[in-house]
Structure formats: C-alpha cells, structure tokens
Structure 1
Amino acid sequence: MPVGASHIRVAGRADGRKVRVGRMQRSANMARDPLAAVSTIVTPQSRPIPGRTDQVRNAAGGYVFGKDLWRKLEDFLILGTTGGTYYVGADRLTAENADVLFQAIAEDGPRVVELLTAVSTARPPRAPKQRPALFALAACYAKGDPDTRLAAKRALARVARTTDHLAQFFGYYKNLNGKATARGTAPTAGRSLRTALGSWFLAGSADDVAFKACKAAQRRTPQGERFALRDVLRIAHPVADDERRAALFGWIAGNVTDDRAREALPAVDRFLTARAVTGVAEAVRVVTEQRVPWEFLPDAMLREPAVWDALVGTVGMTALLRNLARMTRIGTLRPGREATRRAVDRLTDAAALRWARIHPMDAWLALRVYASGQARPGPRADRQTWQPVPAVLDALEETYELAFGAVEPSGRRLLVAVDSSGSMSYGAVHVGGSPVGTPYEVGCAMAVMLARIEQGGAHVIDVDTSVHASKVTPRTNLREIASWRPSGGGTDLSLPFTWAAEERMAVDGIVVLTDNETWAGRRHPAQALAAYRRSVSPEARVVVAAMTAAGYSIGDPEDGGVLNVAGLDATLPLVVNGFVRR
C-alpha cells in the first residue's frame, strides 16, 4: 500500500453515494481507542514492530533489526572501524566491535577462527584491510580456550601471509596477552605461542618462506616497535624438516653463509644478487635480465625513476596498479614519456587483465586512489602526494571497462537504491591510506557496476525521505561520481519497496546500498517489503549492502529472501548475481 494511501479512504453508503473519511476522523477514532494504532503491518520507524524482540535502536533513533553476534563479527572483519561513522566515532565503534569479538570467542572460539580465515583468504578479497582479521586472530590466541588456540595456530600462516602481517599479529598479541616492562610491553612467550610462530616458518616450501623473508625481513608492529624475523626465529625455535629449510633458518639467524644459502635456495640467490646492486644501471640489468621482484631491490634503487622504468614491464598487474602513485611521485610516469606509454599499454591489455583476474571494483579503487593524489599509508607515515598523469587516468578508466569482459549478467530485473541521506556524506572511505570517496560515492560506484553488468536490466534510484531520480546509468563516467553530492536530509529505507509497489515495478531483486541509519518512515522497511511482495512480486529477493560496521541492518534476519552483506567487497556484483538467481 502506498504511504499516503492510509490518509484518505473511500467508504460506501446505503444510498450508493460515497463519502471520504479524512485524516481528522481517523485520528479521532484512534484517540478513542489507542490500541487501534498498534499494527504489525504499518509501524513508524521510530517505534519497534509490535511483537518483534530482535529490533534495536540505531544511532539515528530509528528501529532496525539487530544483527546476530556472528554477522556483527563478520562486518567488523570486513569493514574494520577506522574513521567511524556519521553518528559513532572511531574509538566507540572500535570498542563496541572489540566487545563483539571477545563475546564470540567466549561463545565459540574455533568458529571465530574459521570465519576470520574465510574472510582473510577469500579471492577476490572481501576485506580491504587485513588488520581486523589479524587482530581477531591475536585475540583468539590470547583469550581463547585450548581448542581456540589450536585452531589459531593452524590458521596463522594462512592469515599472516607476509612478514608485515606477522608483525601486526605479534603487536596485537602483546597488547592482549603481554606483560608490562620498563620499556613497554613484552609478549608472554609460552610453548603454545612459540609453536604458533614456528608454524609460520614451516608453511609452504623452504623457497616460498625464503621469498617472504627476503621481501621483508624486518617490519614494525602496530605500536611502532621494530620486528625482525631473526628475533621471531629465536623465540619460536622451529625444527627444520629438510636440509633446505635448515639452511634457511641458519641464514636468517646469521649462522649460515650467503654462499651456502644461495646454493640451497633460489630466492636467496636472486635476493642477494639484487641487494648487491650499487648503481641504477646494474639495477636495471638485474630487473630486465634476471626478473628479480621489485621488493628485492635496495630501497635507494626504488627511488630511481629509471629502475621503475624497467619494472613497468615486469611487475605483476596487481603490483602495477598499486605502484602507479609511486612511479608518478618519483617521475617515472610523466606526460609524454615512454614509460607512461608502456604502462598505459599494460593497463589496457584485455587478455592480461582477464588472466590477472582484475575485477571492475579493483580498477575503480585503483582509479580513485591514483586520482586522489595523496596517501598516508600508516598513522606514523608521512603524507605522500603526486600529480596524476591524465593518460594514466584515462587508461585506468579503460581498465575498468575491460574488467567487465568476463562478468556475466544475472538475467534478472534489479532495482538498486542508493541511500542519499546526510549520513552517507560523512567522511571518506580509505584504501591504502588514500581517500576514495564518501559512502555515497562508493554506493554510486557499486550501482554503476551493477547497472553495467546487468546490461539494462537494472534501474537505480536515490533515497532519503523521498525517492529521487539517480544520475547512474550503465555508461556513467567514473570521474563524474566524485562531483556528485547526496540529496541529504533524513532516511526512510522503506521507500525503495513502497516506490516499487506504487510504480508496479516487478523486479526479481532489490539492492539497497546504505549505512542502515533509517528513522523517518511511517512503516518499517521489512513491512514495506512484505507489502511489495504481496502486491507486485512475491519472489523478490533483497540484498542490503552496509557501508559501515554498525551492527544492525534493515534486513529481517528471519527472511530467507534477504541477504545482508558489508563493505567494499569486490565480489558484491557476483553476490547479487548469485543470490537473485536462486
């Protein structure tokens, strides 16, 4: 039923004439009988639905469905808490999500480990940052029961895949289960922790571990403390399972010569060759002739434009996307340069993009990071700036276009509703320390991708306290979105369903991109969805994509036709595709 339809109705009389029963008479009747205002069909969002005990009050004052413990935890693992939300600051949001994590560990620690491992290892990635999963793993190890610690130990090498990840895990663990010292905090290094750290050195082949060790033998913890693999090896005392691994352990510890390590481990040989480079010409030679990874080169060489000129053609596609800003900052990529032409050629190679499985979302994020012209990789890092090269920006737009090559449409009709209320304009979503846009901009970008994938089968609207025509089309230029601003005002997320009912728009799926801070509607979204299904499309499915880890959703958890997802998930179009196809 349309929102306004309950204000005026037509009643029949015995003489055949019809009279209009207006709002005043209806209000008078309700005043005489307050119970007449209690309805499970139409309930203002400022009050919970009668009989539902699973609703909570959101930060805007409206009532929504509280997510269960495990959905809240999954949101935290995907979204993290950096930056907070429009209504909740980062400190409070972090504390609330930490409480969720510890409660989940107490309830079922091994399940926590299973969930964080699934989020961390998903391909394409589900989480833009690894830190929430590493923090959760450290908490499992510090606060879990024996079964939880055993599961965490087995998962460590899969979740902490690099030296940097291991340093973050170690730092979080010290905070959660360390002991105070004159210099700060020291870890409680019992047998269990030693075997867990040792498992990191035993996962994969000896040369695989050597490659990781060569890429980064030393990092810093989240607290800024020095973290060296040599020190970890001395704490862990892992037992080598073959001669090559024994040579690796001895080399890391300083007890095996470089020559012996070179003989046993190809990664070490390539690394030592790269580290022996003393000049730019030599660095270019080892890159072009021996194809050494860029991470093996001395830091001084990675500040040289000519070295990156050589690396443009050898680094992987993902590494190329991630280092465009660096290459621009140091001068390798400039307008009219040969290196810029070669980078553009690679970024617009459709076959290479398909082989590297570059997703349209990956390309969009790379474009927004590069176009931002700024980054701060860590809280203690200096702010970096660069002047984006127009040809590279153009190439990244083509990268985005080409990345759709292997994506198939669902073949279903979709309505995509982007929350355009004031809270969606708060702050910026950050990727790699660079601002990529507000939640509204990110929502619009996802809407563009869905519209493009569905090839005309998707209609997009904006929603605040009314429905607005969206600027999104399948051919929307991605640069345009940066200049868009949400309509602002309050939030009524029942409107996508009410509007679709009023328009008699029969769709198979409705996607809502929001922060779930709804409060202004005369009925709850779940009630409006039920009415839409009754009157228009009985089998309609709904995907609610949350932009923040607020712990609640407009989606009814008891409704099997509603899917709650969270964050900058590059697989969102595929999730929508698969869910509405069922």
Structure 2
Amino acid sequence: MTTMDVEDQLQRMNLTYLDQLGVAMQSQPSQREKIREDQIENSEGGYVWAVNNLNRTRRFLILGTTGGSFYASEKTLTMENAKALIDIIEKGNGALILREIVQISLDGRAPNQSSTLFALALCARALQLAAFEAVNCVCRIPTHLFTFVEYCELIAKATGVKENSSGWGRGMRATIGNWYKSKDPSLLAMHITKYPQRGGWSHRDLLRLAHPRVDPERDFDRSELLRYAVKGEISLKRRREGEDSEGMAEEEPPSKALLLVNAVLDVKKLALETDEQKAVELIAQFGLVREHLPPDFLNSVPVWRALLQKMPMTAMIRNLAKMTVIGLLADGAGELTDPQQLKAARIHPMSVLMASTTYSAGHGDKGKLQWTPVVAVTKALDEAFYLSFKNVEPTNKRYCIAVDVSGSMGCHIRGSSLSC
C-alpha cells in the first residue's frame, strides 16, 4: 500500500467519524429547547434546571454580584438574589439564612463582605432582634458597620410603609450603640483612628444617630474615645477622688487607648522633611498603621520599614505595589512565604491569586500607580498561593470539572482582575 493510499484511507475514516459525530450531535436536544417541565429559562435564553433558593443564597453570599456576569447585569443578579432571600425569610426560614451569613463570614469563605452585609440588612428588616444580635459577629471592622448601615437605610427607603423611612428605629440605635460599647477600648481606639470614614459615613454620623450612653466616671476611656470620634478632642487624664499626702488630687496615668489617639494626632502634625525619625519612633512605640500617617510619609522607605514590623499579612499584600515603587522590595518579600503568618491571617488562595495577577500586570484596574514587578516578589506570591490552600477546610467531596470555551470565559470575575 502506498503512502497516498494510506492518506486516502485515513481521510475517509476521519470524514466518517465526523459524519457520525454530526449525526450524534444533531440527535441531542438543544439547550434552547425545553425537554422537562421543571426546567426554566436562563439569562442567555437557554433552558436549565432551577437552583433552589438556599443554594442560590449561598452562591450570592460567597460570590456576590459585583460586575454582574456575561449574560446578566449586576443590578439584575442582585434583584434576583434579593427575591430569593425574601422568599426564604417569608416562608419562616430566616434563621437558616442568618446562620449561613454568620458562618460564611466567620469562616472567611467570601472574598468580599458586601453581599453578606446586604443579606444581613435584609434579615434585620424582617427578623429584627435576631439579626441585630449577629451584627457584632459579622461587622468586625468599621468598614463593615458603615456598609451595613448604608444597606439598612436603602432597604428601609425601598420597603418602608412611611415615606422617607430611614430605618433608624430603637433596635437599630441600640445595635450601633452596642457595637461601640462592646469593644475593648484599645481595639476601639484603633478602629476609630484607622477607619475614620468610609463610603460617605463616619463614626460621628453613627454616634449622632445612635446616641449611645456612656458614663464618664465608670468608663472614662470609652467616653473620651467617643468624644474624640464626634468632636476630634480628647483628654488623657482624669482626676481621682481623694487627695495625696501633699493635698493635691492624684492623677491616673493615661491608658494605652488614649495614648494611641494622642499619637495619631501628633503624627498628623509632623512634616516629612524634619520629623521623619519622630514618625518612625511613634510607629514603633504605639503601633501606628499606614492609615494613621499623612500622605507625605507614605513615600518614605524608613517609615515603611517601621510599618512592616507589625503589618498584618493582608495589609502587606495590599500594599506590595506601593512598596515596590519606593524601592523597599528590591530583595523580595520573604514574609509572604511564612506558613505561620499565612495561617494566622487566614489568607484565602483567591485573595493571593488576585494580588499576584494585579502585581504581575504592573498596574491596577483603578488609580494611576504603575510599577515594575520584582521577580522575587512575584515568585513569593506564587508560593504563597499554594501555601494558603492549607487555610481552606476541605469538603472531602468529589467534583466534576466542566470546561467552558465560549466567549463568556474572557470576562472578569465579579469585577476582579481575574477571568475564568
């Protein structure tokens, strides 16, 4: 048999196979054809099996709707998920949703808390007391609290019986007040100074709406911290009852919480040209963080070196670009590959992957900052990605991975820098 004969036979076999494949594909029903009564039409116009409300809610709480999807807008997806949540709550299963919200939030399974806080605000509107009790667990930093309040107001205006309903009832005021009264003074001082305002809300706004009552005699530190949040003023010392041997009123030494606030006020008065070393000393002494510093100090290598001594892993990953620009990471970032630090910070692999993708690109999706990626840092991020999988609890279930090669795979996932 000649080479030509072999090629002819292979070609005929190939055509036969393709013909058979074509017939087999034609015999399969199209996704656009409804073949069962329990199928529903999806956003693309095809027919699929419906996802129950609980699974839809879990997807929403973990993945969110930021940026929408290839076939549905962000607004459409949010409305669909909100309806599913409301349906579960109206059927008397609101406690189930609330349990899912708290568990997903505490386990760190959601890369972004926005959808979790939106769901909590919906539950607060319907369940009141039970949902408000979960606020301290879910809203662990002021940013979460501000977002929760914003969603509560939006939902109240959309669903309120009274016109211009604000949602600031007795339960809401008590919940916000309790958030401030339940925090340890040192932690509260850090929260108030590190996150003074976010998304158009400030501590001053919340405190003026909530009116929490704090007795200055019994809880002097907290009283002063709240006064600082509202008025920007603070007193470090108070007088004790009684007199000392010289007939003078004895003074209490200032607490760590009040000294931190005072240090923040001091560092904001410093000038980079003359007081760089003083800023480094305040950072080392009081544990000041990046958000406490004036913008000029964020271009100083000694200041960033001081900040790195106690900087949490998540904050470090978030600031890799800035540290690269000022030349601090020329030799790499070995802390990124420390398994203990990764575990303590509960870093999720997806967070590392998004940081790695953005850092390798040399620019972010927002802002004008550009940098030349350091190879050692890129390798450290890659290693940290695999190490961080130890932070994810395995499901011990089997998975079927289906590969989609359509155009929708090129769109960004939930507004991130990643595509499928």
Asked if Structure 1 and Structure 2 have the same fold, meaning a TM-score greater than 0.5 normalized by the shorter chain, the answer is yes
Identify the residue that residue 102 of structure 2 maps to in structure 1.
117
AA aligned opposite 1:307 = V
Matched, 1:204 2:183: yes
Cα distance in 2 for partners of 1:438, 1:299 equals 33
Q: 1:194 aligns with which of 156, 167, 173?
A: 173
Q: Is the 8 A contact 1:137 1:152 kept in 2?
A: yes
AA aligned opposite 2:192 = A
AA aligned opposite 2:419 = T
The DSSP-based 3-state class of the residue aligned with 1:374 is coil
Q: Is the 8 A contact 1:214 1:268 kept in 2?
A: no
Cα distance in 2 for partners of 1:83, 1:406 equals 27
Identify the residue that residue 258 of structure 1 maps to in structure 2.
235
Alignment map for 1:50-129 (pairs within 5 Å) = 50=36, 53-107=37-91, 108-122=93-107, 125-129=108-112
Cα distance in 2 for partners of 1:409, 1:197 equals 36
Identify the residue that residue 348 of structure 1 maps to in structure 2.
337
Q: Is the 8 A contact 1:306 1:332 kept in 2?
A: no
Cα distance in 2 for partners of 1:255, 1:275 equals 9
Q: Is the 8 A contact 2:156 2:167 kept in 1?
A: yes
Q: 2:118 aligns with which of 124, 131, 135?
A: 135
Cα distance in 1 for partners of 2:232, 2:44 equals 61
Matched, 1:270 2:256: no
Matched, 1:438 2:412: no
Taking only the aligned residue pairs, the percentage that are identical comes to: 33
Cα distance in 2 for partners of 1:268, 1:77 equals 37
Matched, 1:216 2:195: yes
Change in CA separation of 1:60 and 1:230 when aligned onto 2, cut-off 3 Å: closer
- Cα displacement (A) at 1:66: 0.8
TM-score, normalization by structure 1: 0.56
Identify the residue that residue 541 of structure 1 maps to in structure 2.
none
Cα distance in 2 for partners of 1:384, 1:360 equals 25
Cα distance in 1 for partners of 2:232, 2:303 equals 33
Cα distance in 2 for partners of 1:383, 1:346 equals 27
Matched, 1:324 2:328: no
Q: Is the 8 A contact 2:111 2:351 kept in 1?
A: no
Matched, 1:391 2:376: yes
Change in CA separation of 1:203 and 1:114 when aligned onto 2, cut-off 3 Å: farther
Q: Is the 8 A contact 2:68 2:414 kept in 1?
A: no
- Give the structure, 1 or 2, with the largest relative contact order (CA under 8 Å, sep 6 or more): 1
Change in CA separation of 1:247 and 1:427 when aligned onto 2, cut-off 3 Å: closer
Q: Is the 8 A contact 2:33 2:47 kept in 1?
A: yes
- Cα displacement (A) at 1:367: 0.8
Compare the two structures and name the one with the higher strand fraction: 1
Q: Is the 8 A contact 2:117 2:147 kept in 1?
A: yes
Change in CA separation of 1:173 and 1:129 when aligned onto 2, cut-off 3 Å: same
Q: Is the 8 A contact 1:211 1:268 kept in 2?
A: no
AA aligned opposite 1:319 = A
Cα distance in 1 for partners of 2:339, 2:281 equals 29
Change in CA separation of 1:264 and 1:420 when aligned onto 2, cut-off 3 Å: farther
Matched, 1:283 2:285: no
- Cα displacement (A) at 1:149: 1.0
AA aligned opposite 1:230 = R
CA deviations over 1:499-529 (Å, ceiling 9, x no partner): xxxxxxxxxxxxxxxxxxxxxxxxxxxxxxx
The DSSP-based 3-state class of the residue aligned with 2:134 is helix
Aligned length: 373
Q: 1:237 aligns with which of 187, 211, 220?
A: 211
AA aligned opposite 1:314 = K
Change in CA separation of 1:152 and 1:265 when aligned onto 2, cut-off 3 Å: farther
The DSSP-based 3-state class of the residue aligned with 1:64 is strand
Identify the residue that residue 228 of structure 1 maps to in structure 2.
202
Cα distance in 2 for partners of 1:356, 1:235 equals 34
- Cα displacement (A) at 1:410: 9.3
The DSSP-based 3-state class of the residue aligned with 2:236 is helix
Cα distance in 2 for partners of 1:160, 1:213 equals 14
Identify the residue that residue 408 of structure 2 maps to in structure 1.
423
Change in CA separation of 1:358 and 1:89 when aligned onto 2, cut-off 3 Å: closer
- Cα displacement (A) at 1:215: 1.4
The DSSP-based 3-state class of the residue aligned with 2:65 is coil
Cα distance in 1 for partners of 2:384, 2:183 equals 33
Compare the two structures and name the one with the higher helix fraction: 2
Change in CA separation of 1:395 and 1:135 when aligned onto 2, cut-off 3 Å: same
Cα distance in 2 for partners of 1:192, 1:410 equals 38
Cα distance in 2 for partners of 1:82, 1:245 equals 37
The DSSP-based 3-state class of the residue aligned with 1:267 is helix
Cα distance in 1 for partners of 2:117, 2:358 equals 24
AA aligned opposite 1:231 = D
Alignment map for 1:151-190 (pairs within 5 Å) = 151-178=130-157, 187-190=166-169
Change in CA separation of 1:362 and 1:426 when aligned onto 2, cut-off 3 Å: closer
Change in CA separation of 1:82 and 1:384 when aligned onto 2, cut-off 3 Å: farther
Identify the residue that residue 294 of structure 1 maps to in structure 2.
290
Cα distance in 2 for partners of 1:351, 1:137 equals 32
Change in CA separation of 1:384 and 1:186 when aligned onto 2, cut-off 3 Å: farther
The DSSP-based 3-state class of the residue aligned with 1:172 is helix
Q: Is the 8 A contact 1:247 1:264 kept in 2?
A: no
Cα distance in 2 for partners of 1:71, 1:351 equals 34
Q: Is the 8 A contact 1:58 1:64 kept in 2?
A: yes
Change in CA separation of 1:134 and 1:361 when aligned onto 2, cut-off 3 Å: closer
- Cα displacement (A) at 1:263: 4.9
The DSSP-based 3-state class of the residue aligned with 1:375 is coil
Cα distance in 1 for partners of 2:152, 2:213 equals 23
AA aligned opposite 2:187 = D
CA deviations over 1:165-192 (Å, ceiling 9, x no partner): 222222222222249xxxxx78342212
> Which structure 1 residue ranges, 5 or more long, are not aligned?
9-22, 28-36, 180-184, 334-338, 440-582
Alignment map for 1:23-42 (pairs within 5 Å) = none
- Cα displacement (A) at 1:257: 3.2
Q: Is the 8 A contact 1:354 1:406 kept in 2?
A: yes
Q: Is the 8 A contact 1:373 1:385 kept in 2?
A: yes
Change in CA separation of 1:265 and 1:153 when aligned onto 2, cut-off 3 Å: farther
Cα distance in 1 for partners of 2:95, 2:40 equals 28
